[in-house]
Structure 1
Amino acid sequence: MKNETPHKINWENISSYLNGEMNKEDKAAFKKLIDSNPEYAKIVAASEKDLNWVEEVMHIRKQYNTNNAWNKVCKQISDRNSGNSIYLNANSIVRFAAMIVVVIGLGLISNTIYNKHLTTYQTFISQVHDSNKSIVLADGSTVTLNGKAKLVYPGKFEASARIVSLEGEAFFDITKNPNKAFIIAVKGAEIKVLGTSFNVIAKDDKIEVLVESGKVQFSEIDNNKESVMLEKGDFAILKENSLNKTLMNDDNYLSWKTKKMVFRGMQLKNVAKVIERTYHVSVQFESDDIARENINTTFDQDPLKDVLDRLCMSLNLSYEKKGQTIIFKKGS
């Protein structure tokens, strides 16, 4: 689902921040809001530009002085008419007309300047049972969302950095641009790259990053401001203000995207977790004995039905499907 994103902006705070009227504590809190919210950061940056636009418009206004415009018109009228009554009647009319021309001109100029710099943000939300929903961004980067993920991004990248925000899970394949970093803002953290591919899970209790290629800088921004550099195969998790880097040893971590699953002597209850994440279903067992059955097999982009049929055939089981719930039972 894609839609334009409405914003509730506190313009008083933005004005205080740009004019240097905030105290130290309020300024630190406002900077934290900007760092964690790319939409707000863009709006603040655009507001800062507005200060320059006002100066530009005022400069243009000086060039279109109403008195000068009036005097020129009056002189032409005076040259063509000898009667004072005509001149006096024309006085107020022409002055008013000249002012209208100037005001309309300034309005058109201001509107053109504003629209030129206006950035539209869009929101893409994947549905509960969706996966592999991809978006191609303005720079050619591709973002693939897992179910219930939310991506906020600009229609055009104009600033010195390419900034988006994410809630949920997504796989990023970023177009290289050494002059403009790509930044994913998530709650309490920031992922910064120049060109690479990686997976991100951003939830309330944790943030995970797995790098498939290239290099990624993963930074915690709320407290200790820790940062780690991740390369291919590296995995890092931020949880309870603790940022840890390790290696990923889960063969099925990206199964939701690749639909490839590898099970080596794995209990069926753990196989079920992979199936749930890959196909967005819920798996239950008729008994604990069934849940402890071991599986050795692989799947490569198989439909859910084929996966379930093969598992049941291998273990002499059956299954019942109720909506999005799968129940494994003893074979009949």
Structure 2
Amino acid sequence: MNDETLVSFLLGELPPDEVTRVQAWLEADEANARYFNQLKTVWDKSLELAAVSSVDEHKAWNQFKERIHNGEQQAAPVKPLFNRFYFRAIAVAAILIIAVGLFWLNRPAAEKTLASGQSVLTEKLADGSEITLNKQSTLEYPTAFKGKTRSVKLKGEAFFQISPDKAKPFIIDIKDIQVTVVGTSFNIREDSNYVEVLVETGVVKVSRDGQELTLQAGEKIQMPFAGKIQEKEKVTDKLHNYYRTREFVCDDTPLWKLVQVLNEAYKTKIVFGKEELKELRMNTSFYNESLDQVLEVIRLTFTISVRKQGDTIILE
């Protein structure tokens, strides 16, 4: 709907079929009605300005005709400058200028999608926050944060270091789960059945369908996509950092947990041939080492065998 038609609607100059079309447009979308109200406000203000104008067009015109009649001056008569046509043109121009201004001020910021593919990527956002995406993850975010929140969407896994701003909380949407922070650092990982949120510093609020839980530094939670929010747990290792630091840090870490992360990091399939091996404890670190090197350390540490069977690696 163009502004010229809306101005004609305000002036009552439209034929019945056009009036019906404008009314249908107003009812079709709340944004249309909001935009029309903004234009009407501008229009009303322009009428107020015209009403208090110090120029009396009719009086000036009559005085001019009287001077002509009395022979005070000879000149071709001119029409009043502030007639209905010119007022309407000026008002329309003012509305167009303000409408353009409103569009640029209120338009949503351009959206950007960061996809990591087979690499780990780090991106700094407009507010100074830094996000590290694990492989096969995507982040949707605006080029500039407008409004009262800083909102992004995540798929996969990412580590967030959020710049503090109490007036504008940072919100991450992942599936039907929402994570809200002010200024903190934390990791979010999407699994096939749940989302894990692990907090390193600060405070994080996790919510879904009216349920809400607050996590402090050193706490984590696994939220299944179906069912109630689970109880929060203490963070007992730093394995979640492997994709940022290229280091596997084990501090009394059960072997099953290290194997779980190795499978994820190296896209492999390591299984236990003996159940009792799962609870063996590791106290070491691996920095930027190959899978074969890590498996060799595990083999020597626990005096176990590492056997390959097709695409599967068996610990027994």
- Secondary structure of 1:255's counterpart equals helix
Report the equivalent of 1:236. 221
Distance in 2, matches of 1:282 and 1:200, equals: 19
- The amino acid across from 1:58 in the alignment is W
Q: Does 1:156 align with 2:144?
A: yes
Indicate if the aligned counterparts of 1:70 and 1:94 stay in contact, CA closer than 8 A.
no
Q: Does 1:61 align with 2:46?
A: yes
Deviation at 1:265, TM superposition (A): 8.4
Larger radius of gyration: 2
Report the equivalent of 2:96. 107
Residues 143 and 326 of structure 1: is their aligned pair in 2 closer, same or farther, counting only changes over 3 Å? Answer: farther
- Secondary structure of 1:109's counterpart equals helix
Deviation at 1:168, TM superposition (A): 1.9
Report the equivalent of 1:182. 170
User: 1:137-178: CA deviations, max 9, x gaps?
Assistant: 222111221223222223333323322222221111111122
Give the number of the structure with larger relative contact order, counting CA–CA contacts within 8 Å between residues 6 or more apart.
1
Distance in 1, matches of 2:151 and 2:165, equals: 13
Q: Does 1:257 align with 2:240?
A: no
Q: 1:123 aligns with which of 85, 109, 112?
A: 112
Distance in 2, matches of 1:106 and 1:54, equals: 6
- Secondary structure of 2:127's counterpart equals coil
**Aligned-residue RMSD, C-alpha:** 4.6
Q: If the length of structure 1 is used for normalisation, what is the TM-score? A: 0.62
User: 1:249-269: CA deviations, max 9, x gaps?
Assistant: 3541221222111357876x9
- Secondary structure of 1:158's counterpart equals coil
- The amino acid across from 1:310 in the alignment is Q
Q: 1:191 aligns with which of 179, 190, 199?
A: 179
Report the equivalent of 1:247. 234
Q: If the length of structure 2 is used for normalisation, what is the TM-score? A: 0.65
Distance in 1, matches of 2:194 and 2:137, equals: 15
Deviation at 1:107, TM superposition (A): 0.2
Indicate if the aligned counterparts of 2:263 and 2:269 stay in contact, CA closer than 8 A.
no
User: 1:214-264: CA deviations, max 9, x gaps?
Assistant: 11111122xxx2221111110111112221211233541221222111357
What percent identity do the matched residue pairs reach?
A: 22
Distance in 2, matches of 1:69 and 1:204, equals: 73
Residues 218 and 78 of structure 1: is their aligned pair in 2 closer, same or farther, counting only changes over 3 Å? Answer: same
- Secondary structure of 2:206's counterpart equals strand
Q: 1:220 aligns with which of 203, 208, 222?
A: 208
- Secondary structure of 1:166's counterpart equals strand
Q: Which runs of 5+ in 1 are unaligned?
A: 1-10, 16-43
Q: Does 1:147 align with 2:135?
A: yes
- Secondary structure of 2:95's counterpart equals helix
